Structure formats: C-alpha cells, structure tokens
Amino acid sequence: MAKISRRTLIQTAAFASLGGRFAGGAVRNVSIGVTDWNLRLGANPDALPLAAKIGFEGVQISFGRRIVNDKLPLDDSEILSRYLRLSSEQKIPINGTCVDKLHDNGLKSDKLAVKWVLDSIRLTSALKTKVLLLPFFGKWAIQNQDEGNRVGDALREIAPEAEKAGVILAIEDTISAEDNARIMDRAKSKNVSVYYDTGNSTQAGFDVVKEIRWLGKDRICQFHLKDNPHYMGEGTISFPRVVEAIRDIGFTGAANLETDTHAGSTVEADMRKNLAYLRQVMG
C-alpha cells in the first residue's frame, strides 16, 4: 500500500473542510494540460503522444532557443505539420506556446526580443492555438515600475500583430497582480493578459488565492499549477483553495502542470501522481 505523507493528509482534510461550497461545485470547462519542457521534451513533437499517454488534455509547447538560420527551431513548415498531425492523431490539443528565447533576449530592453515575439505570433497562429507565453525571469525579470512601463510600451507596439492573428500575449513574471494590471493597461490591448503561475507568485511572497480573485477571469488567460520542488498537495500551496478561486471567478480554459520530476522517479510517474491529485481536487 502506498504511503501517504502527513502533508497530503492535511491538504485532503483542508479540501474536505470546504464542505458545502464544493458540494456539486466541481470545476467545469477547465482542461488540465502540461508543459512540454516539464515532460523533458521541449520543442519536440514527441511531447504530444507522451502527454496523451499520461492522460493530459492539452500540451503547451515551447519554440526552442537554439537559433537555426536566424529562425527559432520550430520555424519550419515540416515540423509544424508534424505537430498538427500528432495533435490530431493523439486527440490532444496544443493549448498554447512559449517564446522561451526570451530567456536569452528579454522583452524589457532587448530589441531582438521583438523579432522572436513577432515570429512566435505567426507560429502560434500556424499551430491553430491562441495563447503565447512571454516569460520574464532571471536577468530579464521586471524589477521596478520603470521596467514595467517599458514592457507595457513594447507590448503596445507588438499587440496589433497579435490582434490580427487572434493570439493572446500572456505575460508570466514575478511581480504582483496589481503591477501586471498596470502593464496590461499601458499595453492598451485586449490581447495582452496574465499567465498566472501559482509557484512563481508564492515564491515571490504573494497570496495566490487573493490575486486570482482580484485579477478575475478577464485578466488571466491560462494557469501554471505547481508547488515545486514538492508534489502538488505536499507543499505550502493549498490547491483546494486555488481551485475554489478558479471556479468562483468563472475561469474557463487551460491549467497546465509545470511540475518537477523528483530524483529517483520518472517524468511519467510523477506527472501521473500530480495529475491524479489535481483531478481529485477539481472534482
């Protein structure tokens, strides 16, 4: 019989304590997907069949960082066709994309970043999906309001292309919900939104449940759910409360696991464990 940790028991009890508020209130119209990089198949079409095998309902794919002939690795018609074919064969949608090249050329001050975002808008549209993640981490993290203003200005210039393509520019970072809202206001586009990450925001010291409720469904386009380095339900984040907030704001769309694989385990085993926990919590 599998051992159950004390923290898992505490989280389960917390879930049960929500009582009537969850009775008959399972989360509807939220699909549970996964990031290709946490499957250890970044910018690799093989992520789709693996995700389908595990039981996910979507995959967020990354465009890669090793430039080939001045293009992103996935900027190739044959590779894009393979993604679309596998998505159809495996009956698993590509629920979003990521410009991971922004880890090298950040949008807050590197002009080359604009090229990668524009190229990624085109590729996202070609993959028949809508949410394009723009990461702001490491040396490219947004550190103050002036940098936030510059990001908002850059997004205002890029947004018309995203609007034409029907693509959402999803900002993921380590700043507060209020600071993200200021960037969105400065960008002046309905196609700029927040990609809310429970792990990043918790590590940055924010109350994720409060922030999700404050932002609401109109300012969040997708979620990353994680509590690394822990299994979900065994760390500090109360996912029953997170799920309740997601349900209460009326969010519909994708929530992607961005969970680590533990030493001595496998990607498939740990993903199955986290997926099973989240499905239980979502009812």
The answer to whether position 61 is within a domain reads: yes
Q: Which residue would you say has higher pLDDT here, 4 or 145?
A: 145
In a domain, 14, yes or no: no
d(CA 268, CA 205): 30
Question: What is the number of domains present in the chain?
Answer: 1
Q: With residue 36 as reference, give the H or E element that holds it.
A: none
What's the CATH number where 37 sits?
3.20.20.150
The answer to whether position 18 is within a domain reads no
If you average pLDDT over every residue of the chain, what do you get? Answer: 93
Q: What is the pLDDT of residues 44-93, one digit of tens each?
A: 999 999 999 999 999 999 999 999 999 999 999 999 999 999 999 999 99
Q: Tell me: the pLDDT tens digits for 83-127?
A: 999 999 999 999 999 999 999 999 999 999 999 999 999 999 999
Q: Is residue 2 part of a domain?
A: no
Mean per-residue pLDDT for 145-166? 98
The predicted model scores a pTM of 0.91
* Residue range of the domain that includes 142: 29-282
Helix, strand, coil % in the chain, rounded to nearest 5: 45, 15, 40
Asked if residues 54 and 79 have their Cβ atoms less than 8 Å apart, the reply is no
Report yes or no on 24 lying in a domain.
Answer: no
pLDDT recorded at residue 26: 85
Q: What was the pLDDT predicted at 116?
A: 98
pLDDT of 15 > 70? The answer is no
Per-residue pLDDT band for 20 (boundaries 50, 70, 90) equals very low
pLDDT above 50 for 19 = no
Cα–Cα distance for residue pair 137/37, rounded to 1 Å: 16
> Residue 132: pLDDT above 90?
yes
Tell the residue number behind the tokens 């595990």, with chain if given.
54
In a domain, 20, yes or no: no
- Burial 122-139, CB ≥16 within 10 A → b, else e: ebbbbbebbbbbbbbeee
Residue count of the chain: 283
Reading the block at residue 56, the tokens are 């996910």
- Please tell me the predicted confidence (pLDDT) of residue 5: 52
Residue type, 277: Y
| Residue 259 DSSP symbol | P
Rounded Cα–Cα distance for residues 277 and 261 (Å): 15
Counting residues of the chain whose pLDDT is more than 70, the rounded percentage is 91
Diameter of the chain measured on Cα atoms: 58
Spatial separation of the C-alpha atoms in residues 185 and 251, rounded to whole Å: 20
In a domain, 270, yes or no: yes
Is residue 175 situated within a structural domain? yes
pLDDT of residue 264: 97
Q: What is the pLDDT of residues 203-257, one digit of tens each?
A: 999 999 999 999 999 999 999 999 999 999 999 999 999 999 999 999 999 999 9
Q: What is the mean pLDDT of residues 157-165?
A: 98
Q: Is the peptide bond before 229 cis (omega within 30 degrees of 0)?
A: yes
